[in-house]
Structure 1
Amino acid sequence: MKALVQTAPEALALREVPDPQVPPGHHLVRIAHSGICGSDMHAYLGHDARRPTPLILGHEAAGTIEGGPRRGERVTINPLVTCGTCPACRSGRDNLCATRQIISMPPREGAFAEAVAMPGANLIPIPDDTAFAQAALAEPIACGWHTVRLARGALDGAAATALVIGGGAIGLGAALSLAAQGVETVTILEPNAARRATLETTCRQTAIAPNDLDPGAQFDLVIDGVGYAATRATASAHARPGGVIGHIGLGEAEGGLDIRRMTLQEITFIGTYTYTAADFRETVAAITDGRLGPLDWTETRPLSEGAQAFADIRAGAVAAPKVLLVP
């Protein structure tokens, strides 16, 4: 099969590779769409030691099962493979499984390929009227869905207002999840003017530039979908007393939080990693029943043009919140 293989930092090549092995309990999924994630960009730039080259990246995908009793079933892929038996898994917090694996990280190759093998439990059926391009968004949106659920649960008082930092797919997914979970007023902070325009016109969101954020503005919830010191500083400055910061982004490891203000104002900080299996299924349900809107804000490119897509994203030349690759 053909696959987009990262061979070195900032080097991707379309290659012929062996078809995936299909272990017991797994199914072969023919990929229809696979999205480029921020973690893929980290690996592309050589910033993720967990993803050594050569490696097939990509973990946001949907497609059709080939062979076996579920042959022909249209599915979206939960890329997080967990043991199912440890205390975290048994308590419903399977995203914290100590032996978790995710496709696009050894030993599991990713979905920037014609096919991938996955355990049956990780393949969530989608109806015929849900496009694969929508279903492939389940993974990035589930990250925001999980964060919003945890943040709302920790909030002291009503959740009426929220600030989302970052207008990529993670931030936009969080904004859509906030609205679907009952938060009335959501503002997205996005520095890229072209992406901001897309958020306003195509995605029907309220999006502002960082310089346009009122220095005194306070929000019940702040979701940081970027994870840099500067964005954490913004989050800790704009969460109201008794408010909650939900932190998804993994841009850099240190700095930014105003610990004194967070302590004096009893602001809760929650680090969130991916999603539970239940969060993923709830996100798929919200996609298929229309609660997250039309999800028509993606850009699609052939897998053969994947290297250029990565370069364009790095250059800030992509206005769409998500680029999907099609084998």
Structure 2
Amino acid sequence: MKALVYTSEKTLEYRETPNPETVDNDVLIKVESVGLCGSDMHAFLGHDERRPAPLILGHEAAGTIVSGPDSGKRVTVNPLVTCGTCDNCKNGRGNICANRQIISMPPREGAFAEYISMPMQNLVEVPDNVSFDQAALCEPIACGWHAVRLAERVLTSSHENTSALAIGGGAIGLGAALSLKANGYQDVVIVEANEKRRNFITEKTDFKVVAPAGLTEDQCFDLIIDGVGIKPTREMACRVAKPGGVIAHIGLGDSQDGLDIRRMTLQEISFIGCYTYTHEHFCETAEAIFNGGLGSLDWVEFRNLNDGQSAFEDILAGNVCAPKIVLKP
């Protein structure tokens, strides 16, 4: 099969590779659409020791099963493969299974390829009226959906009285804003530093989208979802959180600094680390996509998989307005 292979820092090669093997209850899936994630960019830049070259990246996939009795089914892929037997898995928290694997990290190759192999239980069937391009957005949006569900455990305000801020206008931040709206939260603002992307999201959605400087000194929120995860965004989250507010932290931009622990303690601000999603929340996100609850999802730019190198370079250069690039094998 053809695949886009990460071979060294800032280098991807579109080349022939062996077809993936199917073991146990795995099935072979023909990839139709696959999103380019920030974690793929981290690997491309050589910043992710979990993803050593050579490796096929990509984990936001949708396609068609081409092996076994379910051949022909259209599916979206939950890329997290868990043990199913540990306490976390038994309690519905497989996303923090100590033995979890994710495609695009060894030993599982990723979805920047014509085919991938996945366990059947990781697949959600996609109805005919939903495109593969929409279905591939289930994975990134599920991260925000999961963050909303975790925040709801400690939020004290009602949906209609909760003010929310999504930090970042990429697919994670926008997906979090869409998840909030789909769950009945009406007062939702997105903050995005890139002017081109701000304008793009404003044209494509009905969210209020502002620059970081557009937040006033006295503007505060009950719930902040940080889809970037770097020092300045954590500083912003701590600064604009209301007393008793909640910060749900998804982004993995860097790992140090930015939290105002004194203010968080004095104002009883909750901080929640949010890693990917549970399978339940992945399925809830898929259903929201299928029933139109997350909108038209038309904020995507498409590239051919063999054009992957330039897609990464364009994102790195800040030349991409869309929150998500979807690659087409």
**When the two structures are superposed, what TM-score results if normalisation uses the length of structure 2?**
0.99
The CA deviation at 1:181 is 1.2
In 1, Cα distance between the equivalents of 2:8 and 2:218? 45
Alignment of 1:216-227 (within 5 A): 216-227=218-229
The CA deviation at 1:156 is 2.3
Q: Where does structure 1 lack aligned partners over 5 or more consecutive residues?
A: none
Alignment of 1:295-310 (within 5 A): 295-310=297-312
The CA deviation at 1:24 is 1.8
Contact conserved, 2:127 with 2:290, CA < 8 A, in 1?
A: yes
Match of 1:21 in 2: 21
- The number of residue pairs the alignment matches comes to 327
Matched, 1:93 2:98: no
Q: Deviations over 1:41-91 (max 9, x none)?
A: 000000000000000000001000002110000000000000111000000
The CA deviation at 1:179 is 0.6
The CA deviation at 1:154 is 1.1
The CA deviation at 1:158 is 2.4
Contact conserved, 1:191 with 1:210, CA < 8 A, in 2?
A: yes
Matched, 1:39 2:39: yes
In 2, Cα distance between the equivalents of 1:280 and 1:154? 21
Contact conserved, 1:221 with 1:244, CA < 8 A, in 2?
A: yes
Contact conserved, 1:27 with 1:66, CA < 8 A, in 2?
A: yes
Q: Deviations over 1:190-238 (max 9, x none)?
A: 0101100111011332100111111211101000000001100000111
What is the one-letter code of the residue matched to 2:315?
I
Matched, 1:198 2:200: yes
- What fraction of aligned residue pairs are identical, expressed as a percent? 59
Alignment of 1:198-277 (within 5 A): 198-277=200-279
What is the one-letter code of the residue matched to 2:122?
N
In 2, Cα distance between the equivalents of 1:311 and 1:205? 28
Match of 2:319 in 1: 317
Alignment of 1:49-68 (within 5 A): 49-68=49-68
What is the one-letter code of the residue matched to 2:279?
A
The CA deviation at 1:12 is 0.4
What is the one-letter code of the residue matched to 2:280?
A
Alignment of 1:137-216 (within 5 A): 137-159=137-159, 160-216=162-218
The runs of at least 4 aligned residues of structure 1 exceeding 6 Å deviation read: none
Q: Where does structure 2 lack aligned partners over 5 or more consecutive residues?
A: none
- Please state whether the residue corresponding to 2:180 is helix, strand or coil: helix
In 2, Cα distance between the equivalents of 1:130 and 1:215? 43
- Please state whether the residue corresponding to 2:224 is helix, strand or coil: strand
Match of 2:76 in 1: 76
In 1, Cα distance between the equivalents of 2:44 and 2:126? 30
Alignment of 1:1-16 (within 5 A): 1-16=1-16
- Please state whether the residue corresponding to 1:249 is helix, strand or coil: coil
What is the one-letter code of the residue matched to 2:5?
V
In 1, Cα distance between the equivalents of 2:56 and 2:217? 43
Contact conserved, 1:6 with 1:53, CA < 8 A, in 2?
A: yes
In 2, Cα distance between the equivalents of 1:97 and 1:307? 33
Contact conserved, 1:199 with 1:206, CA < 8 A, in 2?
A: no
The CA deviation at 1:182 is 1.5
Contact conserved, 1:76 with 1:126, CA < 8 A, in 2?
A: yes
Contact conserved, 1:224 with 1:247, CA < 8 A, in 2?
A: yes
The CA deviation at 1:157 is 2.4
Contact conserved, 2:145 with 2:281, CA < 8 A, in 1?
A: yes
Match of 2:125 in 1: 125
Q: Say what the alpha-carbon RMSD is for the aligned residues.
A: 0.7
In 1, Cα distance between the equivalents of 2:241 and 2:126? 37
- Please state whether the residue corresponding to 2:153 is helix, strand or coil: helix
In 1, Cα distance between the equivalents of 2:73 and 2:293? 23
Match of 1:284 in 2: 286
Contact conserved, 2:29 with 2:67, CA < 8 A, in 1?
A: no
Contact conserved, 2:164 with 2:221, CA < 8 A, in 1?
A: yes
In 2, Cα distance between the equivalents of 1:203 and 1:2? 36
Contact conserved, 1:242 with 1:265, CA < 8 A, in 2?
A: yes
Contact conserved, 2:60 with 2:137, CA < 8 A, in 1?
A: yes
Matched, 1:107 2:107: yes
